[in-house]
Structure 1
Amino acid sequence: MLDRNPRQQFWMNDHMDQAVTQWINSFAGISPMLDRIMIMITQFGVPLLILAIVLQWWSGGASKTHVRHACIVAGLSFLIGLGVNQIILLFVHRIRPYDAGITHLIIDRSADWSFPSDHATATFAIVAAFLLCGLWRRGIAFLVVALLVCLSRIYVGTHYITDILGGAATAIVSAAVINIAYRQDSKLDRWITGLL
């Protein structure tokens, strides 16, 4: 169990966060089938979403270069968002809800701090990138997957809802910065989108 320090005490006073987290987690353990589904979503949701993005590289029809540009923005947002999370984890040491007695865990314990959620950052980076690039149908489809993954992280007992919101915020900011910094039709973009 990770030791508590004064920085962690800030989180312990948020009753709404705890109440919503407990409510979502309260469904865990009631239905073995639902537990298995949520565990599968929490374990395989991010890899399957990454695979979906990789497959987007060869789709798009007439807008192939635009879709490829969105894939690059998604990949960069994903990496930058997770990098920012690692910096946040150096300063914010929030214990996991199962260590605080808020949830009961139905998967293996995590070795790092709770805030922000890497799963939320990874999935919402992809969603934000596609939406910012104007690919609405794909973005909404990815959003459904992202919401399921994030819900599963609370359901299995490993995150608070504010961990999810923090991870999503990191992802959206990262995607916005990359969308501004990495311009479509730049020389670099034309070279990368022309590969394969």
Structure 2
Amino acid sequence: MDLIILVWIHQHLVHEQLNGFFIIITNLWGNGALAVVLTLILIIKKETRLTGLIIAVSLILDILVVNLTLKPLVARPRPYTIYPIEMLLPDQKDFSFPSGHSASVFAFVWAYFITRKDRLRWILLGFALLICFSRLYLFVHYPTDVLAGIVIGILCALSSKWLISKFTNEPWMIKLLE
């Protein structure tokens, strides 16, 4: 079913005019630099420091769960290795399940979403969904890879908020947040 959905997306939603846009979207989040810069900006500003800290922990949890545990454990091949297609991206160097892009963007965005009550959180959520869809559009992940990545990212964000809340009354944490 996964491959059927992916092929349908490729046959009905992929258009040459959109290719560049989705390549930019996926690469924007790809190497993690944007996540690190945005997290550091949030940590530097006093009014968003707690959010930045929760995001940082969420991203660390994401790396541990996705990159160091699940991808090597499951070792699912990328869809383009099974279904011949002209690729718009170079070969990916890691396994397919779960989607690292989807997990990390949701680890970041959901941590922001649950700690901030501003309009930016909705824009970030839309951005996260675009990144997730780009992974399907570019044929580098199956739908279940992306869905699992979203769930893992959300769980990392929730776990991060819970972990940080356990230490917010500690003197060293109070000092850090000042």
Give the shorter-chain TM-score range: 0.7 to 0.9
Name the aligned partner's letter for residue 20 of structure 2: R
Correspondence 1:93 to 2:78: no
1:10-57: CA deviation from partner (whole Å, max 9, x where unpaired):
xxxxx1x223222223343x31x4111111111113543543333334
Matched, 1:56 2:42: yes
Whether the 8 Å CA contact 2:43–2:53 is kept in 1: the answer is no
Q: Which amino acid aligns with 1:175?
A: A
Segments of 4+ moved more than 6 angstroms: none
What 5-or-longer segments of structure 2 have no aligned partner? none
Among 120, 128, 137, the residue aligned to 2:102: 120
For residue 136 of structure 1, report the CA deviation from its aligned partner.
4.7
Q: TM-score, normalised by structure 1?
A: 0.77
Mapped to 1, the partners of 2:64 and 2:150 lie a distance apart of: 14
Structure 1's 48 and 23: CA in aligned 2 closer, same or farther, altered over 3 A?
Answer: farther
Residue of structure 2 aligned with 1:109, choices 91, 94, 103? 91
What residue is the counterpart of 1:73 in the other structure?
54
Which amino acid counterpart does residue 159 of structure 1 have in structure 2?
A: H
Check whether the contact 1:69–1:189 (CA below 8 A) recurs between aligned residues.
no
Match of 1:156 in 2: 138
Structure 1 gaps of 5+ residues are 1-14
TM-score by length of 2: 0.84
Decide whether aligned partners of structure 1 residues 58 and 135 sit closer, same or farther in structure 2, where only a CA change above 3 A counts. Answer: farther
- Is the contact made by 1:70 and 1:133 (CA closer than 8 Å) also made in structure 2? yes
Number of residue pairs aligned between Structure 1 and Structure 2: 172
Structure 2 residue aligned with 1:82? 63
Tell me the residue number matched to 1:11: none
Percent identity, please: 26
Q: Which one of the candidate residues 150, 153, 169 is aligned to 1:171?
A: 153
1:120–1:146 contact (8 Å) kept in structure 2: yes
CA RMSD of aligned residues (A): 2.1
